[in-house]
Structure 1
């Protein structure tokens, strides 16, 4: 029986998607609910599952755009019984008719042995390809052996390669540079996700009155607290205590004091949510994604850290769902992990504000009339000046600064604990 596997609906208003990659080859035997392909829309990357077991016939090639509801492949269920037998190496020592026999070599125990062992020592590998190979844990032999077909493109590339000249100098930095000199350029097709991201970023610049305000934060107190209780935190909650959770929690409390920073424009109205759904920018191989942690106002630091860990892992693996990336009211991004000193982050529509964290650097600052060296982070808040005034934007950052420099205020809702005790 032939079963058609159609492209599912990733979400409302999405009419077509890109079939990013196939995880199986044409003619493979697949099992029920096995992941067979990755589908990429302008909002998220989803997995295509086999609805039944059997032999697969691919209808749409990887990289093609396909309409939602169209047939991506078919499965012949008459071959369903062969799935288990093919999965067992001992079942047969000979390849099936029309199939190539694959030699499976055991993985070495040490990763460096895999990288150094190759039958193609003179093969050229571009820096980008080398990075992709490291991410996929592949060596040169596995890439070359994994090629299914040599096309005229590869033949022409090899035929037109210039003869390599051996550097006359012996070894050293100059010889290394000469041997790796290249004028090659790699072209990549822009994914639907990056196309949509590009359109949205340009739209934000054109359609909002975006302004950025800055402040600096002394990280001494948070760093000391983190160092003192890190091991106990891990033992009790099973996750590491990072800086992001402090800033996300502080941002949530600051939003209570300045609710307009959490607002957004809807037509002729301003919507001010009473909840704080914080989008967290995560860099993935396929582009920037902003999964949402909902109701931050109800979460403790360990709850935020656990949510951050789970969403970041799913985003990097491309397994995050569309519902986990929509509905945020405020965004936090951390360019400091890449070494950024200062930036003006772009608003994530339809939100009206985004807070940017940066790297922590020891800088001389004045403390009680004396110059001291303190770990300082620059904070940025980009906001839509159409609905957020300077008083709210500056006040928001000052409130976050106060809570990070005195973490006890996180327990007092952003207020001074001593004044709360005294009822002032």
Structure 2
């Protein structure tokens, strides 16, 4: 029985980022280290104290660290899609055969467990590194390259490739790998991806340091047109003339997503940024580049994308609000107190102030994701934040009690109370706006 550390932990260690061994407070193990066992059987693993957990192929939990150990295996394509594989795990499967089924050369390296110290570190120059497919060379040259033509058998690998490009924006995709990805798209492999895996990889890519690279790679191979045609349509669509016409809507989207990464926005905000301008891809030619009414179109398209890929509810809801209201928020400095209150109500800010903070952050990413705007402040956020705090500070119970004292027998008591509360909030918003205007710069 031979045990090897494989995959991302080896790759990252060679880059100087070690996946250190530790246990979480609940006793579960660090999830970022993959182990492969060569020359063993399931029976031998159980006899050594490992606990079987794998359903599709033999995977075992270490008796003390609870990390996952998989028997070396080969795989064979049996049908289209992510699940169309047959696996073979046996003592005669070699480490090189196991590494051959992996996606990229930089993920197809291994080190014997004995090469690691107690904390999980290893010497990047250790001669025991197993690298049959040139992963170290590609890591040095900053190249993302497939291991074997078997890459084409799993369409999820296109999404993984795009995600890695977003993680390491200085890496390039090998020309032969890009050609293979285009062939996969042309043969319809991407159309058989299941929603759960698409969303999982998209979400991970959005959370990488340069999300725009994910979109660029997916566009280059044609997968974006299949998976997210609403997004793919944005390239070539002109922006409004006052938004630097040399940057089209697709490039603007790339800048917005990268701004979201720069501001360390959470996933829901980054997804909202992805969807906020979808309606511009369907703007009738006669109203370009003004994009009149694109907010409502964007909200409808965001809803469609969310349903198609089973996006979590919090991400879907935020995306729809941002798509529908981001234009109004950008122009909110000129709104009256009554219009400001209506905007807060449409955003459900009075009931969900924390989510409204995410709405404001997404709008800031949109505003600063433009040429020569990246360092500009976004005063709309401060003004709307102050307006919301002022509205929330209104003692609605006291307002309602006063209306009841004045008109105890009124048949329209409920509407009267609602109108009085709204009026009190408008006065509070007006006072907050005046205080901001008088505050020193």
TM-score by length of structure 1 reads 0.27
TM-score by length of structure 2 reads 0.26
Higher fraction of strand:
1
**Which has the bigger relative contact order, CA under 8 A and spacing at least 6?**
1
Higher fraction of helix:
2
